[in-house]
Structure 1
Amino acid sequence: MKPTLYLCMNRRLGAQGSCAAGGNDRLFAALEREIASRGLDWRVMANPCMGHCAKGPNLKAAPAGPFLEHCVDGDAVQVIERLEKAGWPNSG
């Protein structure tokens, strides 16, 4: 399985928070740019609700990677560095 970052793109209506309302569309684009600039063979994919709306925006690294919460577009570099420091994707 190709290393994949799944970003929750769920948008809830009303005053309730959601990952999409929190800017995951911008994080999606920022991660794609950063992955390409580093020459990583990873992909970024949209995912439906992950059930942690109050802690979003959220992403899951697969296979066998961590679940990250409260991510924003300015975190793309830190997200990738955190995953690499943890040994992902080879840690699974």
Structure 2
Amino acid sequence: MKFNQHGPLRNSGEFQVTCAETIEGAVLAAVKQMVYGKEYLEITLQAAAESNSGNHKGLIRTYSHCKVYSDAVDFSSEDVTAVVKPSLRIVYNWVE
């Protein structure tokens, strides 16, 4: 889905994130569901600086109608406790 936008402002784009997965597998299961299911999501990000005791100071953004894409994920075969870090590309169609 793409919103039809008029004027010079394009309120859509994409960004990269990396998430960390350990032994449980909950993160990879969620990523698999989002990518294979081709789900549209609403994602809210907020800055929580340690110097402000975790206070976001109003730095909150909500991204609407997001699709998640994943690159190949490398699994460790030598260490069973290694952290797996899938790289995700999130394409959003609207930001507040």
Q: Normalized against structure 2, the TM-score is what?
A: 0.24
Higher relative contact order (CA 8 A, sep 6+): 2
Higher strand share: 2
Higher helix share: 1
Q: Normalized against structure 1, the TM-score is what?
A: 0.24
